[in-house]
């Protein structure tokens, strides 16, 4: 039996520990930093470091590490011990405010998109006091930001913190206009639902593709997939349940509010949802959750797959990013209340999000663009590649009423007749029924659903915060000058809804009709990563990020290059793995099978020419033809990959080459292999089948 309250946050240097171990002034100063983003001086840092060290040592720690999030999208850590030499050859355990606040590490081996000149390889990590330190494997982990010697940001945390500051600043400005002078800080909160697969470790170990690339590059469909939809919310199998229990316990110890767990649509697929928290903590915690899932799965003889599309023909895995804005006084700015049509403040914030999403579809789309996620977006399971918004019927009706009428307030009655007024609980009645929308309003928050399961949630939230902050800033500029705030506010809301109505779509996002309709509306349809990422460096986007002090031009170009290079590298590794599997395992296996088949035919004929061998001969002919095609395509893939590896060009052109000349041949090669697998005797096939993998955990 786990006593949840007693273990929750036990490995975290959280509020409660701070209160117990810091003197009052230090505690208050640190609290002010955490809550209101005030900066921290070295005396405070020294006091906090001392308390942290003592706490960590009591809990068995010997080391500390600055924990950061380089552009690889995963986390990085380098451990130093507290050990310091003392007299008589003895040691003492020390940890200073300086060591807490700043670390130095070699930045040269992290992706930096040309920011780091080779002669200056130093990188710095700086403590982020707004995310709690924690203990893992006898080390004290200190969440930090990572930057180059010359001050350029090399990580995913710093821009996120900047974007949080920006949205707070602008939201506070807007709230002042509504007379809310006592709001000091607005926080963007996030709850990230995480999907994943669990398969037996023994199966995983036999699949080179899973080991090297995270997804199956070959594999015929299992005879049973997700057709019956019997896995979704189904009873959790014993082994999975043991895994989930240990995972929960570990996450709770780390102060992560793991709340919901259930089976997902695909066989062997599951989901975990935490309770929402501030964006940067949610980001850190999501990274920790993914790491912990992998470690615990291994302990249970399983492998946790976080790839967006581990199996062809069954649903892939995503991450739903639930996002809302809350004031330091506890008000949720996206809560419509009982009469949203009269709630001007809510409508203004809603209008800001509508305008931001419409004007910056490209940024939202590219924030989730990866080689892995390309297999999901656009196929009929996940949100489409077209960004649109779902508001729910009631809210959409209100928006349309506002657009239609000059003075919507006097038409409140119209809405009443449509039944809006009579709703007992708005939130309940507009709960989301549309699972196909990439960006859905779900009662008191927006749910951005296009994220792939393996990515850091940092980038999508940087985009969201920045585009909404920028829009709020434009609103505030206008409204601060207005003579009559109320009427200016109402006409701004109406104008915004009218101009950006096209982004609202409540229908089925999976259909071909929507693709056509979206085109008519002038919405972007950026189907793959190169198409999406090329917009990162559009002039309008560079201006936006510079204006909001999120990224400088150099930092944008660096990210653009790193992300495109990552796309090309992923496909390159996949292609190399495929060629290896094709030549070393699949070709020899099919060759053995056809050889045995030929021997059987000869043997039968040797006994008597009247023994029929038609069926064997037909199979032999078919398989031999397929094998020859397979071999030719393997050579073609090899050639195209060689060309790519020696191609000296810019990252965008290279990524397009990979998409059109490598990935496309990989798909052809796979199709032939999957046909051969289907037609061949099981004992010859060199890898565990889809059925073996998807139903391996009982």
Chain residues that interact with ligand ADP, rule: CB under 6 A: 189-191, 193, 260, 273-276, 320, 322-324, 332, 444-445
Instruction: Pick what 324 binds: ligand ADP, Mg ion, none; C-beta below 5 to 8 Å, kind-dependent.
Output: ligand ADP
Q: How far is the CB of 470 from ligand ADP (least distance, A)?
A: 21
Q: How far is the CB of 220 from Mg ion (least distance, A)?
A: 31
Q: How far is the CB of 5 from ligand ADP (least distance, A)?
A: 19
Q: How far is the CB of 462 from ligand ADP (least distance, A)?
A: 16
Q: Are 450 and 382 spatial neighbours (Cβ–Cβ below 8 Å)?
A: yes
Instruction: Pick what 343 binds: ligand ADP, Mg ion, none; C-beta below 5 to 8 Å, kind-dependent.
Output: none
Instruction: Pick what 73 binds: ligand ADP, Mg ion, none; C-beta below 5 to 8 Å, kind-dependent.
Output: none
CA distances from 673 to 53, 591, 617, 664, 695 (A): 57, 13, 20, 15, 22
Q: At what angle do helices 485-500 and 344-359 cross, to 10 degrees?
A: 40
Instruction: Indicate the pairing of strand 186-200 with strand 318-327.
Output: antiparallel
CB-closest chain residue to Mg ion: 320
Q: Which is nearer to ligand ADP, 193 or 195 (CB)?
A: 193
Q: Which is nearer to Mg ion, 273 or 348 (CB)?
A: 273
Q: Are 415 and 341 spatial neighbours (Cβ–Cβ below 8 Å)?
A: yes
Q: Which is nearer to ligand ADP, 274 or 318 (CB)?
A: 274
Concatenated DSSP letters for 190-243? Answer: EEEEEEEEEEEHHHHHT-HHHHHHSS-SS-PPPSS-STT--STTPPPPHHHHHH
Q: Which is nearer to Mg ion, 295 or 434 (CB)?
A: 434
Tokens found for residue 588: 């020899």
Q: How far is the CB of 189 from ligand ADP (least distance, A)?
A: 4
Q: How far is the CB of 390 from ligand ADP (least distance, A)?
A: 13
Q: How far is the CB of 446 from ligand ADP (least distance, A)?
A: 9
CB-closest chain residue to ligand ADP: 191
Instruction: Pick what 273 binds: ligand ADP, Mg ion, none; C-beta below 5 to 8 Å, kind-dependent.
Output: ligand ADP
Q: Which is nearer to ligand ADP, 302 or 347 (CB)?
A: 347
Q: Which is nearer to ligand ADP, 271 or 358 (CB)?
A: 271
Tokens found for residue 563: 């992300």
Q: How far is the CB of 570 from ligand ADP (least distance, A)?
A: 28
Q: Which is nearer to Mg ion, 193 or 531 (CB)?
A: 193
Q: How far is the CB of 308 from ligand ADP (least distance, A)?
A: 18
Q: Which is nearer to ligand ADP, 324 or 640 (CB)?
A: 324
Which residues of the shown chain bind Mg ion in the complex (CB under 5 A)? 193, 320
Q: Which is nearer to ligand ADP, 270 or 312 (CB)?
A: 270
Instruction: Pick what 97 binds: Mg ion, ligand ADP, none; C-beta below 5 to 8 Å, kind-dependent.
Output: none
Q: How far is the CB of 442 from Mg ion (least distance, A)?
A: 7
In terms of C-beta density within 10 A (0-12 exposed, 13-18 middle, 19 or more buried), how is residue 36 classed?
exposed
Instruction: Pick what 110 binds: ligand ADP, Mg ion, none; C-beta below 5 to 8 Å, kind-dependent.
Output: none
What φ, ψ does residue 262 adopt, rounded to 5°? Answer: -160, 165
Tokens found for residue 217: 């590059």
Q: Which is nearer to ligand ADP, 275 or 645 (CB)?
A: 275
Provide the b/e sequence for 500-521 (b: ≥16 CB within 10 Å): bbebbbbeebbeeebbebbeeb
**Distance between CA atoms of residues 154 and 458, nearest Å:** 13
**Distance between CA atoms of residues 472 and 487, nearest Å:** 17
Q: Which is nearer to ligand ADP, 189 or 466 (CB)?
A: 189
Instruction: Pick what 625 binds: Mg ion, ligand ADP, none; C-beta below 5 to 8 Å, kind-dependent.
Output: none
In the block, tokens 């939230």 appear at 461
Q: How far is the CB of 279 from ligand ADP (least distance, A)?
A: 9
Length of the chain: 698
Residue 333: alpha-carbon gap to chain centroid:
24
Q: Which is nearer to Mg ion, 272 or 575 (CB)?
A: 272
In terms of C-beta density within 10 A (0-12 exposed, 13-18 middle, 19 or more buried), how is residue 469 classed?
buried
CA distances from 170 to 184, 278, 286 (A): 11, 17, 27
Report the sign of the C-alpha dihedral through residues 468, 473, 478, 482, in that order.
positive
Instruction: Pick what 312 binds: ligand ADP, Mg ion, none; C-beta below 5 to 8 Å, kind-dependent.
Output: none
**Distance between CA atoms of residues 35 and 297, nearest Å:** 36
Instruction: Pick what 332 binds: Mg ion, ligand ADP, none; C-beta below 5 to 8 Å, kind-dependent.
Output: ligand ADP
Instruction: Pick what 594 binds: ligand ADP, Mg ion, none; C-beta below 5 to 8 Å, kind-dependent.
Output: none
**Distance between CA atoms of residues 486 and 384, nearest Å:** 38
| E-strand stretches of 475-543 | none
Q: How far is the CB of 423 from ligand ADP (least distance, A)?
A: 19
Instruction: Pick what 532 binds: ligand ADP, Mg ion, none; C-beta below 5 to 8 Å, kind-dependent.
Output: none
Instruction: Pick what 191 binds: ligand ADP, Mg ion, none; C-beta below 5 to 8 Å, kind-dependent.
Output: ligand ADP
**Distance between CA atoms of residues 556 and 128, nearest Å:** 22
């Amino acid at each position: 039996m786990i006593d949840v309250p007693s273990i929750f946050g036990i490995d975290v240097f959280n509020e409660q520990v701070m209160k117990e171990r810091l003197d009052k002034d230090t505690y208050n100063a640190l609290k002010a930093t955490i809550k209101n983003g005030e900066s921290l001086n070295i005396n405070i840092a020294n006091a906090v470091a001392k308390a942290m060290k003592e706490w960590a040592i009591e809990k068995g720690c010997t080391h500390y590490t600055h924990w950061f999030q380089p552009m690889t999208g995963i986390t990085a850590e380098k451990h130093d011990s507290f050990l310091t030499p003392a007299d008589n050859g003895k040691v003492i355990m020390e940890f200073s405010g300086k060591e807490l606040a700043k670390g130095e590490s070699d930045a040269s081996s992290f992706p930096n998109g040309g920011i780091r000149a080779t002669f200056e390889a130093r990188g710095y990590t700086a403590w982020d006091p707004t995310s709690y330190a924690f203990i893992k494997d006898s080390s004290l982990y200190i969440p930090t930001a990572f930057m180059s010697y010359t001050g350029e940001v090399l990580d995913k945390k710093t821009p996120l913190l900047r974007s949080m500051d920006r949205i707070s600043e602008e939201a506070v400005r807007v709230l002042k206009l509504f007379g809310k002078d006592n709001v000091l800080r607005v926080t963007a909160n996030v709850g990230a639902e995480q999907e994943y697969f669990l398969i037996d470790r023994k199966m995983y170990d036999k699949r080179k593709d899973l080991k090297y690339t995270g997804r199956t590059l070959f594999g015929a469909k299992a005879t049973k997939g997700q057709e019956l939809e019997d896995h979704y919310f189904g009873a959790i199998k014993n082994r999975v349940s043991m895994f989930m229990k240990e995972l929960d316990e570990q996450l709770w110890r780390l102060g992560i509010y793991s709340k919901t767990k259930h089976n997902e649509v695909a066989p062997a697929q599951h989901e975990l949802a935490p309770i929402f928290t501030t964006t940067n903590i949610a980001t850190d915690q999501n990274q920790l959750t993914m790491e912990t899932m992998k470690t615990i799965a291994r302990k249970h003889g399983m492998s946790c797959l976080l790839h967006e599309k581990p199996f062809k023909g069954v649903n892939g895995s995503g991450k739903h990013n639930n996002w809302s804005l809350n004031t330091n006084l506890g008000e949720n700015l996206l809560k419509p209340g009982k009469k949203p049509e009269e709630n001007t403040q809510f409508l203004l914030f809603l209008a800001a999000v509508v305008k931001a999403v419409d004007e910056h579809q490209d940024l939202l789309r590219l924030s989730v663009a990866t080689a892995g996620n390309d297999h999901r977006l656009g196929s009929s399971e996940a949100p489409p590649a077209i960004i649109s918004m779902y508001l729910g019927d009631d809210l959409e009706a209100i928006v349309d009423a506002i657009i239609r009428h000059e003075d919507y307030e006097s038409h409140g009655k119209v809405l009443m007749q449509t039944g809006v007024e009579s709703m007992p609980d708005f939130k309940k009645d507009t709960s989301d029924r549309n699972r196909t929308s990439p960006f859905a309003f779900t009662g008191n928050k927006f749910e951005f659903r296009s994220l792939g399961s393996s990515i850091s949630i940092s980038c999508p939230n940087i985009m969201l915060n920045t585009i909404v902050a920028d829009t709020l800033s434009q609103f505030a500029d206008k409204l601060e000058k207005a003579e009559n705030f109320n009427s200016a506010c109402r006409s701004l809301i109406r104008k915004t809804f009218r101009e950006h109505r096209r982004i609202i779509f409540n229908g089925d996002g999976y259909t071909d009709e929507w693709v056509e309709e979206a085109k008519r509306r002038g919405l972007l349809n950026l189907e793959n990563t190169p198409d999406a990422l090329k917009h990162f460096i559009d002039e309008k986007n560079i201006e936006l990020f510079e204006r909001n002090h999120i990224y400088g031009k150099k930092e944008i170009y660096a990210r653009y290059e790193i992300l495109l290079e990552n796309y090309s590298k992923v496909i390159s590794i996949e292609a190399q793995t495929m060629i290896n599997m094709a030549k070393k395992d699949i070709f020899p296996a099919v060759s053995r099978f056809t050889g045995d088949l030929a021997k059987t035919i000869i043997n039968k004929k040797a006994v008597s020419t009247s023994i029929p061998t038609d069926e064997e001969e037909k199979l032999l002919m078919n398989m031999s033809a397929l094998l020859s095609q397979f071999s030719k395509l393997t050579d073609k893939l090899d050639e195209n990959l060689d060309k790519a590896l020696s191609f000296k060009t810019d990252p965008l052109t290279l990524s397009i080459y990979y998409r059109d000349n490598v990935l496309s041949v990989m798909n052809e090669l796979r199709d032939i292999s999957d046909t051969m697998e289907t037609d061949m005797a099981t004992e010859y096939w060199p890898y565990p089948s889809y059925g073996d993998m998807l139903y391996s955990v009982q």
